Structure 1
Amino acid sequence: EELQRFFFFSFTEWEISEWSDQQAVFTFLYDSIELTITFGPPVDGAVFNDNPCRKIVDMSFESLLDEEKAPISSCLVQRLIFQFIESQGSWQTKCTTMHHLPQMLHEVSLVVNRCRLLGEEIEFLNRWGGKFNLLKTEVDNTKVKLLFSTSTAFAKFEVTFSLSANYPSAPLPFTVQKRIGSLGQDEISAVVSNVPLGTNYLMRMVKMIHHNLLQGSLIVQ
């Protein structure tokens, strides 16, 4: 608890499961990701939380998620988080002592938080997508495929969004595959380009597609 308070930020997406002079173990995202840090000798004259500040000689992230049993949204979230972790190169080169741990944990927590919220969006669409003429929500690696359908406009199309760990701070690349009717890339682009970045970005784009193009329609099977 004392270490938790020492590491405190505005929100905490991790927990300490082990701390000793030899190593520390942190868990993220409901214990589905584990970070193990191995400590080396103390840094001369440096103090960390009223104890000698030690060098960091090794660190590793490990996924503990059972992908065969986990929801598709959880698998996507894990892939995006590890995409971010791997994109940073060697964490050990920029996190060399205990003093660097708070900032590192903060950076990882920001990504974990954003990806966790994205997973909740996908679960919402998977459960309640019918309200927005969404027939199917499918995850393919780091892509989300959304199948829309309307009989009023006699249209059926699939929008595939390519997701990354920086969601929702950048526009999502997407493609549209027409199934029935004339609604395609140009029409979808005109709608989603007006959706501002930020919380619930994907869900707000779905709602805008529904509101501008599909509202009041019936489903085409």
Structure 2
Amino acid sequence: MFEQEGRTKHSSWESDDMEITKSQTVAIDAESLHPMYASQNKKRKTNENLSFMTGLTKATRASKEECDMDMTKPLTKLDDGSITVLEFFNLFNLDFVIHNPRQSILPGKVGLSFSNTKDLLKDRYIDHPKQRVYEMDNQFLTEKVEGLKARMKDREKLLRHVNPRLWEEMRSFTEEELKRFGAKLKEKNNFFRKKSKVESHKLKGVLYSNLLRASKNEQQKLRGKLEESDVMLKDLDDCIQHLQAELNAVEGNGLEDSKPTLESAEQGLAAVTKSLADNERQIYELEVQKTCNLDKLKRLKTETQNLENHTDMLHRITEWKFEEKQGNFQVYSFLHKTLVLEVVFEKCDGDEAPERTISDIIFKFSLDERVSPCHAHLVHKLLSQYTEGETAWVKKYPTSKYIPKLLHDVGLVVSRCRLLGEEVRRLKLFGAMSLNILDISCVDTQVRLLFSSLEAFVKFELSVALTAAYPFCVPQVQNYKNHIGNTTVHQIEEIVSSVTPAKNLLTKIVKKINEDLLSGTPR
């Protein structure tokens, strides 16, 4: 672009010089032909030259004064640090212009409809590939120009912010040093302008190589298309020759011989049409069936999700979980599979009856006593007493329709015992600080409690015997032992009997003992 602009200016200067030369030549010819005219013209030209020189001298002086005035203001800004980068370059008559990339001129018929095959092929395999290459080059140049424009914003910044070291040195320069610096700066500017022209020519070389590569690729594609077209034309010629031979054979045999052939062809066509209709009908039926199956599948997924949600809710509400059904027995589990209930049915011949007779009900405990906490041992001991105490399980639940009632009754007992275990665990964790419990442990079906109060100066221990009917029966006080103080077993029994059986009965009894005997205030 810089080169094109320079050629334009150079041509304009040459045209001006040619016009001046022509006007001077006409004037010389007129002087040589007419001496009188020449003398008059010479005087007139002398006067004009004198006036021109006088005006030129005045203009030069005025320009110099104006230049001095223009130089004074930037130098003042240079001293106080308010000069910008653009003003610093203008001080040395330097300017930087970023030209926009030249838009590629497309052929006049690109993208239009063509009636001529030659123009269509030219548009598809020549013009459009060139257009794509030019668009990519234009996009690359545009991005590069935008990047340079971002750097051009530095011209509006102060020189002391952009290059403080240069500004400090420039402040101490004399006028001669500034002129020498400006000359060097112009040399650098010219060098970079020439370098930009070299880069521009390199980019043109890349553009032309891309155009050549695109042309070669499209040429190969066109050759491939032409080869395919030649093969297709050859196949069509063979088909035409084959049809021509059949037509000649039909014409040679006569119309009578061709009628059976036509009838058989019509019958074959009718059979094919019928087969197509049957296939279309089957396809439609399969699509309808597919739609129905998809709807059914969607409905089954929704029902499955709902059943899973109900199952999760049931597991959260009930104490039991269904494990498996295999042969003549069903298995249910309680307390994280540490208690297993097996229901065994009598064998039946033939189809499975809607109501089956129960032959045995088995309870299995699988708690690991070595690693389990003491309150878990207490829960399983109480449940073991409950299951062993009921001897007539099969008489009470004789058939399969009683299984829900069996699970409900066992689940109630398991729930009460589980809540008792949670209650003992909470007392062991938090009872020391709030209820003066020094120690709590479980032995068989008894809960051993050791109380100690420094405020009341008492210390005693006792054991409370529990049953599977907890909390609907009053616990029995056993193994009372007093260590410090005057507390008696009768006081403990009175406190235990005074608490009404209800939820968290053991905790209420412990709180009552703490309030009456361990708080340090007489009651």
Q: Tell me the TM-score normalised to structure 2 length.
A: 0.38
Give the match for residue 89 of structure 1.
Answer: 391
CA 192–58 in structure 1, closer or farther in 2 if over 3 Å, else same: closer
Q: Is the 8 A contact 2:452 2:460 kept in 1?
A: yes
The whole-number CA distance in structure 2 between the counterparts of 1:214 and 1:58 is: 52
| Match in the other structure for 2:331 | 25
| Contact 1:42–1:52 (8 Å) recurs in 2 | no
Give the letter for the 1:143 counterpart: Q
Gaps of 5+ in 2: 1-306
SS in 2 for 1:77: helix
Task: State how far apart, in whole Å, the 2-side matches of 1:145 and 1:169 are.
Answer: 20
Structure number with higher helix proportion: 2
1:39 counterpart residue number: 345
Structure 1 residue 162: Cα displacement: 0.4
Sequence identity, in percent?
Answer: 36
Q: Report what 1:170 is aligned to.
A: 473
Deviation at residue 215 of structure 1 after TM alignment: 2.3
Shift of residue 151, structure 1, vs aligned partner: 2.0
Are the aligned partners of 2:328 and 2:347 in contact in 1 as well (CA < 8 Å)? no
Correspondence 1:38-117 to 2 at 5 A? 38-41=344-347, 52-117=354-419
Report the Cα offset of residue 94 of structure 1. 2.1
3-state SS of paired residue (1:112): helix
Q: Cα distance, 1:11 vs. partner?
A: 4.3
Post-superposition CA distance 1:20-71 (Å, at most 9, x none) = 452100001121100111222459xxx9xxx621111222110011111111
Partner SS, residue 418 of structure 2: helix
Asked if the contact 1:13/1:112 (under 8 Å) is kept, the reply is yes
Q: How does 1:169-188 map to 2 (within 5 A)?
A: 169-175=472-478, 176-188=480-492
Aligned-partner residue type, residue 191 of structure 1: I
Corresponding residue SS for 2:395: helix
Moved more, 93-102 or 24-33: 93-102
State the 1:190 CA deviation: 2.8
- Given residue 137 of structure 1, which amino acid in structure 2 is its aligned partner? I
Q: Does the 8 Å contact 2:436/2:452 carry over to 1? A: yes
Say if 2:154 is the partner of 1:154.
Answer: no
Q: Which residue matches 2:495?
A: 191
Deviation of residue 90 (structure 1)? 3.2
Read off the aligned partner of 1:123 and give its amino acid letter.
R
2:513 is the counterpart of 1:209 = yes
SS at match of 1:35: strand
Question: How far 1:192 moved relative to its partner?
Answer: 2.4
Distance 2:318 2:512 in 1: 32
Q: What CA distance in whole angstroms lies between the structure 1 residues aligned with 2:347 and 2:403?
A: 16
Partner deviation per Cα, 1:128-154 (whole Å, 9 max, x = no partner): 111200000011111111000112222
* 152-161 or 139-148, larger mean C-alpha shift: 152-161
Alpha-carbon deviation of 1:216? 6.1
Contact 1:138 1:145 in 2 (8 A): yes
Using CA pairs under 8 Å that are at least 6 residues apart, name the structure with larger relative contact order, 1 or 2: 1
Secondary structure in structure 1 of the residue aligned to 2:367: coil
Give the secondary-structure state (helix, strand or coil) at the position aligned to 1:58.
strand
Determine if contact 2:319/2:414 at 8 Å carries over to the other structure: yes
Aligned equivalents of 2:496 and 2:396: distance in 1? 38
Equivalent residue in structure 1 for 2:448, among 145, 148, 157: 145
Matched residue type, 2:354: P
Question: Is 2:382–2:467's contact at 8 Å kept on the other side of the alignment?
Answer: yes
Tell me the matched-pair count.
Answer: 209
Find the aligned partners of 1:189 and 1:75 in 2 and give their Cα distance. Answer: 26
**Residue 193 of structure 1: CA displacement?**
2.3
Match status 1:133 vs 2:436: yes
Match of 1:128, SS state, is: helix
The amino acid across from 1:78 in the alignment is H
Letter in 1 for 2:391: G
**Residue-by-residue CA offset, 1:58-104 (whole Å, 9 max, x unaligned):** 22110011111111100110010110011111312222210111111
In structure 2, the partner of 1:124 is: 426
Query: Is 1:35–1:59's contact at 8 Å kept on the other side of the alignment?
Result: yes
What is the CA–CA distance in structure 1 between the aligned matches of 2:327 and 2:366, rounded to whole Å?
24
SS of residue matched to 1:53: coil
Counterpart code for 1:189: E
Deviation at 1:198, TM superposition (A): 1.2
Are the aligned partners of 2:456 and 2:520 in contact in 1 as well (CA < 8 Å)? no
Consecutive unaligned residues in structure 1, runs of 5 or more: none
Partner SS, residue 149 of structure 1: strand
TM-score by length of 1: 0.86
Report the AA paired with residue 206 of structure 1. V
Deviation of 1:126 (Å): 1.0
